[in-house]
Amino acid sequence: MAESRLCELSEVPADGSAAFIADLDGNRFFAMAVRKNDAVYVYENSCPHIGGRLDFPPGEFLSDDGEHIECATHAALFRIEDGVCIFGPCEGDRLTQIKAEVRGDTVYILSD
C-alpha cells in the first residue's frame, strides 16, 4: 500500500473543506478534504456528471448548511460520509473516494 502526505489537519477547517493537488502512486489530481465531527473524508475534486471541478470559489465544497458536498456547477448534493449523490443530475452516482488517515496532525492518503 502506497501513501502520500496530503496536508496538515489544520489546513482543513473544522466542519469545513479545502482543495488540494494530490500526488499518489505517481498520479497528480485535484482533491478535496472535508472535516465532519472527528473524521476527514477525501475525494477527487471531480463531478461524476461532467468531470469538472466541484468548487467555486476554490476550496468551498459544502452546501450552505454544511451538511453536504455541493457541485457549484449543477447544485448536485453528495453525502459527506460516502460521496453518494442524493440530488441533482448525477443522482445515485458517487464521488471517487480516496482512503485517508489522520496521524498526529497530518492527513495522509492511501492506495490499495
- Output the CA torsion sign for 18, 78, 27, 104: positive
How long is the chain? 112
Residue percentage of the chain with pLDDT more than 90:
88
Q: What's the N-to-C CA distance of the chain in angstroms?
A: 5
- Residue scoring higher pLDDT (109 or 52): 109
What total of structural domains would you count in the chain?
1
24: CATH: 2.102.10.10
C-alpha cell of 98? 480516496
Using a cut of 0.75, tell me whether the model's pTM lies above it.
yes
SS3 89: coil
Give me the pLDDT at residue 1, please: 80
Amino acid at 93: D
> What's the DSSP call for residue 5?
E
pLDDT at 112 over 80: no
Residue pLDDT, tens place only, 25-75: 999 999 999 999 989 999 999 999 888 899 988 889 999 999 999 999 989
| 17: containing domain | 3-110
